[in-house]
Structure 1
Amino acid sequence: MNIRRLTLLLAILLLAGTAHGKVVTQAISYTHGGVSLEGYLAYDDAVSGKAPGVLVVHEWWGLNDYARSRAEKLAHMGVVAFALDMYGKGKSTEHPDQAAAWMKAVNGNMDGWLKRAMAGLEVLKKQPMVDAGRLAAIGYCFGGATVQVLAYGGADIKGVVSFHGSLMPPTAEQAARTRAKILICHGAADPMNQPEAMSTYAAAMNASSIDWQMIAYGGTRHSFTNPDADKRDMAALAYSPSADRRSWQHMTFFFEELF
């Protein structure tokens, strides 16, 4: 069976035979900690009944068109996707120094980081077309680390997928709270996460009872899912069409299991 037919079969299994219509998108404003936030909802208007909900967490650049496109791509699969906002309404940038500053303002406080992600998850849960018993989260770069933090915080979700995210080994306390299954899609040549980090992560996860898996894509650097990675003029970043395609397929398999 070729990949296209296999992907179609998985989509049919995931959606239980629902038809495809038009993807509807909507900006949703919400607040957390006194900060005005604006996320991006995407869903297929032909899906009847309640559908699985997937939270999308952006890279350190902020909620930009790339994150929105991933939410739309998920909507084409028949899930309800919500790309949350971790920084504040309108905060996205092309400058690494600004991105780093915004990211550190969030991840410098673990409790605040978790609560900001939870705020986005609550928005997704409240959507009338979402089955709150079938939730997952995916994230890219900073967002990949964020969905791990969400899992370790005991969020009521089935699973999380980290794409080229920082590897976040859980403490024993965090591992005990984790209910979500975890899929790590990682670039084996990612200079931002050296082999030692992969070994440390694996050791911590193996010491826990978390259901986890890591798939490493050979010769693949950071930000491998983003076609704009090569435009950033950062040696650590490189788009990989094959790793992008394969990691999305691995996520699809994972969702078929979760949902």
Structure 2
Amino acid sequence: MKFVASLLFALIPTIVAQGGPPAEALVERMEYADAEGAALVGFLSMPEGASAESPVPAVVIIPDWNNVDDYEKLRATMIAQELGWASFAADIYGAEYETGVPDDMRGTLAGTYRNENPDLFMQRIAAAVDQVAAMPEIDSSKIALVGYCFGGSGVLMFAIDDSSINDNVAAVVSFHGGLGPHVFDHRNMSSTMEGGDMIKPEILVLSGGNDDASSDIQTLEMTLDNSTNLWEITRYWGIEHAWTVWGGDAYNEWADIRSWESMVEFLKEVFGETSFEYSPLGVDGVETVDYTDATDGKALRGYLAQPNASMYVTPSPAVIIIPNWDGVNTYEQERAKLLSELGYVAFAADIYGADLQTDLSQDVRIEQSSLYRADNVSLFVSRMQTAIDLVKSYDFVDSENVAMMGYCFGGTGVVQYAFMGMDGVKVVGAFHGNFEESLLPAIEGPIVPYTMILSGGNDGQHGNQTLVEMMLNNGTAEWEISRWSGVDHGFTEWESEAYNLNADYRSWSAFLTAMGEKMVTPVRVGDAEAPVAAPTEGEAPAPTEGSAPTEGSGASYLQSGVIASLLLLLSITFM
């Protein structure tokens, strides 16, 4: 049976500080063997209700360089208990290491499998997949690989290696895997799928900004493109290697929760548990607002959308929308309407002027966009600040909790605003902006807003990511960069040939989640109090009293962590 939830409302991200593992590992020890008969020992966690009559998806966990230990067993338990999927913690090194790997052996063993004998590594992964696929309780068409560290490298190697492609593997997720080019140099890759019957897994890579070099990310993107995989890569600022390992020196609670939720959304779509369809809301109720930029006296016209006063408490957090290069028009008004339905005050700002909003010629678009983003960035920033000041002046706006998002030309603008040391908003989100070096102003003081860059993998205007990351780091910014394979410039524009529903959903959801972390969220009438905004300076989000789990409490990330925002513009179908 299908349940279709038409999203005239959305779940706003709920923020608490603590993730933490479940109280105990609920797993079954299983002996199995690889293709050469080597003895292996894995650990299975099966959700309640799974049966041959009602098979479930499965996640095979490829371990870090410690091989299978309590960490992987607890992750398997989380997957089964929270998500209702079976999970199998796979053995790579062999049964003789079931009780542990000596510290002085970890590097040697990891190097043996990853570098010296990758075929054996792939064989061990395939053995785990085959073991799980043969179980009657498992839907063998819905199996994913999830790898951590050493295992994060392994699942990527498996996904792009034509000799090891397994039709049962629908997706792979890599957490802080080693992404250097040496991982892929010896793999058997091709740019075509001979015979047309091999299915390339979809790939999600979750990477720390202080872990993998941005140059390695660019090499990875090219590698994945050449191997014809569909991919998504997200980078988190300042995050060190092994950030998901509870109790480790590098553990980062925020990144752990955020990346876990990203994985869940990704796999639910791959497994067919959610599907999306476009359902616009129109612009009814959006108000026209005339205002002026005092810098040059330019007459401007923006568009204001307010949440339903009977549904949401005021004052409300607000979002400023900076338009694409064809001026502020129906598209930006529709986005404002979507945000207002989520409880935000939304304002589509004018940059070019009240007389330049619709049916602009190509020449005018080039002239105007060049004027602001290249020739006179200070004037562009003034236009944005004028809109911010206007919105903050409304008594129905919580002036301490304002974000800004921009599309294309506007995406470039919001990042330029942040680079120039402006602090009028807490979050900026750039959707398919242009970040060529000539458009990036010198850093003027610390970058204050949390900065999100959301781009298509085929978008040549994304620019040099190594340079962008370096500048963000030089400005001590908190940042996040996500890209999607095969996605072109303008992927959020509904009427464009470049429109991509999946990337639109994932990027919109990520932006809403970031606002939920860095700002207070809209409060529905009747709710006791507003969620507490997250602290800045890279700390984990502050807990909502009484809801934060402690280590070993068994509390669910999905209940107590960052709950992924549901995209208002879509209908989501739950299978």
Query: How would you bin the TM-score normalised by the shorter chain?
Result: 0.7 to 0.9
Deviation, structure 1 residue 84: 0.5
- Paired with 2:372 and 2:494, the residues of 1 have a C-alpha distance of 26
- Paired with 1:169 and 1:7, the residues of 2 have a C-alpha distance of 38
Alignment partner, residue 201 of structure 1:
468
Q: Deviations over 1:143-188 (max 9, x none)?
A: 01111122233222111000001126453x42x2421110111111
Alignment partner, residue 330 of structure 2:
65
Structure 2 counterpart SS, 1:11:
coil
Q: Deviations over 1:80-128 (max 9, x none)?
A: 0011000010413353322111112222112111111111111111121
- Paired with 1:49 and 1:239, the residues of 2 have a C-alpha distance of 34
Alignment partner, residue 430 of structure 2:
162
Alignment partner, residue 76 of structure 1:
341
Alignment partner, residue 453 of structure 2:
184
Q: Which amino acid aligns with 1:204?
A: M
- Paired with 1:193 and 1:185, the residues of 2 have a C-alpha distance of 9
Correspondent of 1:104 among 364, 367, 370: 370
Alignment partner, residue 116 of structure 1:
383
Contact preservation (8 Å) 1:143, 1:162? yes
Correspondent of 1:50 among 315, 318, 328: 315
Correspondent of 2:487 among 220, 230, 237: 220
- Paired with 1:9 and 1:28, the residues of 2 have a C-alpha distance of 27
Does 2:302 match 1:39?
yes
Alignment partner, residue 27 of structure 1:
288
- Paired with 1:158 and 1:208, the residues of 2 have a C-alpha distance of 15
Q: Which amino acid aligns with 1:164?
A: H
Q: CA RMSD in A?
A: 2.6
Contact preservation (8 Å) 2:286, 2:333? no
Structure 1 counterpart SS, 2:326:
coil
Q: Which amino acid aligns with 2:450?
A: K
Kindly name which structure, 1 or 2, has the bigger radius of gyration based on alpha carbons: 2
Structure 2 counterpart SS, 1:209:
coil
Structure 2 counterpart SS, 1:112:
helix
Deviation, structure 1 residue 13: 4.0
Alignment partner, residue 507 of structure 2:
247
Q: Deviations over 1:187-241 (max 9, x none)?
A: 11102234xx2222122223331000100111111000001222xxxxxxx1111
In structure 1, the gaps of 5 or more residues are 15-21, 231-237
Give the fraction of aligned pairs with identical amino acids, expressed as a percent: 28
Farther-moved stretch of structure 1 (129-138 vs 197-206): 197-206
Normalised TM-score (structure 2): 0.39
Normalised TM-score (structure 1): 0.85
Contact preservation (8 Å) 2:457, 2:484? yes
- Paired with 2:356 and 2:383, the residues of 1 have a C-alpha distance of 15
- Paired with 2:289 and 2:434, the residues of 1 have a C-alpha distance of 28
- Paired with 2:13 and 2:455, the residues of 1 have a C-alpha distance of 27
Deviation, structure 1 residue 6: 11
Farther-moved stretch of structure 1 (101-110 vs 50-59): 101-110
Give the 3 Å change call, closer, same or farther, for CA 193–12 of structure 1 in structure 2.
closer
Alignment partner, residue 11 of structure 1:
12
Runs of 4+ off more than 3 Å: 4-10
Alignment partner, residue 235 of structure 1:
none
Q: Which amino acid aligns with 1:35?
A: K
Contact preservation (8 Å) 2:429, 2:452? yes
Q: Deviations over 1:227-257 (max 9, x none)?
A: 1222xxxxxxx11111111111111111110
Deviation, structure 1 residue 26: 1.1
Structure 2 counterpart SS, 1:185:
strand
Deviation, structure 1 residue 7: 11
- Paired with 1:145 and 1:68, the residues of 2 have a C-alpha distance of 19
Structure 2 counterpart SS, 1:68:
helix
Q: Which amino acid aligns with 1:25?
A: V
Give the 3 Å change call, closer, same or farther, for CA 34–8 of structure 1 in structure 2.
closer
Farther-moved stretch of structure 1 (68-77 vs 24-33): 24-33
- Paired with 1:190 and 1:42, the residues of 2 have a C-alpha distance of 31
Deviation, structure 1 residue 25: 2.1
- Paired with 2:336 and 2:395, the residues of 1 have a C-alpha distance of 17
Q: Which has a greater percent of helix? A: 1
Alignment partner, residue 233 of structure 1:
none
Match runs of 1:143-158 below 5 Å? 143-153=410-420, 154-158=422-426
Q: Structure with the greater relative contact order (CA < 8 A, sep ≥ 6): 1 or 2?
A: 2
In structure 2, the gaps of 5 or more residues are 16-282, 520-575
Q: Deviations over 1:35-89 (max 9, x none)?
A: 1100000011322221101100000000010011111111111000011000010
- Paired with 1:5 and 1:254, the residues of 2 have a C-alpha distance of 23
- Paired with 1:38 and 1:78, the residues of 2 have a C-alpha distance of 23
